[in-house]
Amino acid sequence: MSVVVRFFESRGWQIISALALGVAGMLMFSPAFHAGFWTDDFVFVELAARRGLGDYLLYYFDPRNTELLWYRPFQGLQWWIEYQIFGVNPMGYHVVNVAFHIANCWLLFNLVTHFTRNRVSGFVAAFAFLSLPRLTWGVSWPGVADALMALFYLASLSFWIAYLEQGRRSNIVFAWFAFVGALLTKEMGATLIAILFLADRLLVNRPVSLAQLAKRYLPFVIVLIPYVLIEYEVSRRGVYVGQVAYGMRAQSLANLWQYAQWLAFPWHIDAPWTLIAQGIVAAAALYWLAVKRARAVIFLAASGLIAVFPVLPFPFALDRYLYLPMIATMALLGLGFYAARAHFTTPRWRAALAFGALTSFLIWNSATVYDVADAYTGFVRETRLQFRPIFQKHPTFPSNTILYFIEPPFPTPTISAMMYLRYGANVYAYGTDRGRVAGLRNRDAAFVYHRDEQNGWQELVVAKKSAARASTSLPAQFDQGLELAAFEIVSDRVKRGEPLALIVYWRARQPIEKNYTVFAHVVDANGRIVAGFDSQPHQGSAPTSSWRVDLMVADGMVIPVDATVVPGNYMVEIGWYDLATSQRLALLDAQGQPIGDQVIIGPVYVDE
């Protein structure tokens, strides 16, 4: 056993550990290498492919860009570099993301080894982090920036600790540049300044005056303040932030509790064993915090909770956001192994039993990661298969074609990028999730897609011309601040048994308290309804009480026209009513006086 211990403490063990982490990581995540692109991945590739370098850098680095959801220029830079190397081959992007994950494990190995002076403890922490099943989805998905952000994060912390212990000013420079890299990759990087301060005061804890302390952190504060202002402004105007209602509320405390539970015990086992395991871990942590007052434990526990702070304002908790916080948990696991190291030397049977249990646990972790990566690959392929009927029907499209999706399964910039990779630069996708008029007839060709009862895509060809007009000038004002800004009709001629489809564009001119129902009725010359559509917007998923003031909402109306409808000319009546009372909202004139309760669009012709 002493020979084994000496080997563990040798430089050879460090080299073998690095190789083991690299090989194991690539093997564990190998199923994901064949997953292809998914959702945001397509958008990143399309942006890199469509834009020249100058325009591309301006897109990501200019905070005035209104298309940005978040300010993550280094993530954009990463995708541009990868596109120059890999083009549209997704495997390279997957391999790079896994390589970032392995590099983070290596940095974690060095940090835990540094403070415990025990390489086995460092390896346990690193390999547990490498093979943690809960992180598999984020590592397998190239569009997630957490691995790159954590790489900057851990590098900055490593350089900072080296500076605090050795006093070499070059390490401050390296720590600062890595800090900036973390900030410009993902929002969680903003928590790094607190982690650097905690490492200073808890891990190294050397005497320093208040003035020296302020001077020490001034370079970080100087860059953090403008970053926070930029990030706030970019996220404030982002549509996604408004859609998910990002903000501190009571749900934030529930999110904190959920993240704390996951951090305490991140493995999934059947209830009630998960709760029991979480309780045991929490009790052990409290013992080390309250009784032992272990500075390293305090630092890691605080680091994990601080790292989740930026995601608490979301109205949900997702384990995908745990990549950075989970580093602290795995470091705690390494410290726990270090604290129990005495039991691994005598007697030998106990050491062998403990070593066997640990090895079995890590092997189980690795096998689970492989299975989850394989499941991820299958899921990604399934999401792409729903578009196969379109690909099969259209080997090519005319140039300057727009494909419009009513209630798309994921954001249409993603679908547009997917179509770009399939058909080239002259095919675009749009949908009801976008807050702008599509301009269907401004293209050389246009197709509208909607779901049928079997959830398959049905295609409608947009007619080149349409004689249908609104009975009142647009925008038309309804009571309660609802405005019909514009509409687009797929065709003003439909066959019996086929649907009549419109895209209507609404705005809320004031906050709306109630959830109103929109109607679109096809009526004959006598006002008799022959076909109709009644629903809350977006099939109930976008109630009017959730609308942001002045933000345009596109809504697709697919009105089934029965085969019994008599051929002839018809009109479409569009308006709103309160479902609870059936009371319609009034249509208002320029002076705010009621002039009816509907906008009439037509004529439309029903053919044989």
Question: What share of the chain has pLDDT > 70, as a percent?
Answer: 91
What are the start-end ranges of the E strands in 384-440?
Answer: 401-405, 427-431
pLDDT of residue 6: 47
- Point out the domain boundary residue: 359, 381, 403: 381
pLDDT of residue 233: 85
The residue behind tokens 């179509």 is 419
pLDDT of residue 348: 62
Give this prediction's pTM: 0.83
Q: Write out the two tokens for 127.
A: 């390999």
Q: Count helices and strands (H / E) in the chain.
A: 20, 17
Q: Please tell me whether residues 377 and 398 are part of one structural domain.
A: no
Q: Please tell me whether residues 330 and 454 are part of one structural domain.
A: no
Q: Please tell me whether residues 370 and 396 are part of one structural domain.
A: no
Q: State how many domains the chain has.
A: 3
- Point out the domain boundary residue: 439, 461, 483: 461
What is the rounded CA–CA span in Å between residue 518 and residue 78? 45
Amino acid sitting at position 96 = V
Domain CATH number, residue 524? 2.60.40.770
Q: Please tell me whether residues 442 and 339 are part of one structural domain.
A: no
Q: Please tell me whether residues 494 and 447 are part of one structural domain.
A: no
Determine contact, residues 143/38, Cβ cutoff 8 Å.
Answer: yes
- Point out the domain boundary residue: 428, 445, 461: 461
Phi first, then psi, for residue 464 (nearest 5°) are: -60, -40
Neighbour count for residue 445 (Cβ, 10 Å):
17
Give the CA radius of gyration of the chain: 29
Q: Please tell me whether residues 191 and 271 are part of one structural domain.
A: yes
Q: Please tell me whether residues 446 and 572 are part of one structural domain.
A: no
Q: Please tell me whether residues 437 and 527 are part of one structural domain.
A: no
Q: Please tell me whether residues 551 and 583 are part of one structural domain.
A: yes
Q: Please tell me whether residues 430 and 487 are part of one structural domain.
A: no
Determine contact, residues 451/406, Cβ cutoff 8 Å.
Answer: yes
What is the rounded CA–CA span in Å between residue 446 and residue 590? 34
Q: Write out the two tokens for 80.
A: 């541009």
Provide the sign of the torsion angle of the four alpha carbons 215, 301, 182, 168, taken in this order.
positive
Range of the domain at 273: 2-381
Q: Please tell me whether residues 163 and 250 are part of one structural domain.
A: yes
Determine contact, residues 170/123, Cβ cutoff 8 Å.
Answer: no
pLDDT digits (tens, 9 = 90+) for 290-312: 555 578 888 998 999 999 999 99
Q: Write out the two tokens for 389.
A: 């009927």
**Which residue, 420, 409, 429, 381, is CA-closest to 38?**
381
Q: Which residues pair with 461 in a beta bridge?
A: 447
Q: Please tell me whether residues 194 and 300 are part of one structural domain.
A: yes
Sorted by sequence, the CB contacts under 8 Å of residue 259 that are 6+ apart come out as: 305, 308, 311, 312, 317, 321, 322, 325
Q: Write out the two tokens for 286.
A: 């409290």
Determine contact, residues 401/428, Cβ cutoff 8 Å.
Answer: yes
In this prediction, the residues of the chain whose per-residue pLDDT falls under 50 are 1-8
Amino acid sitting at position 455 = N
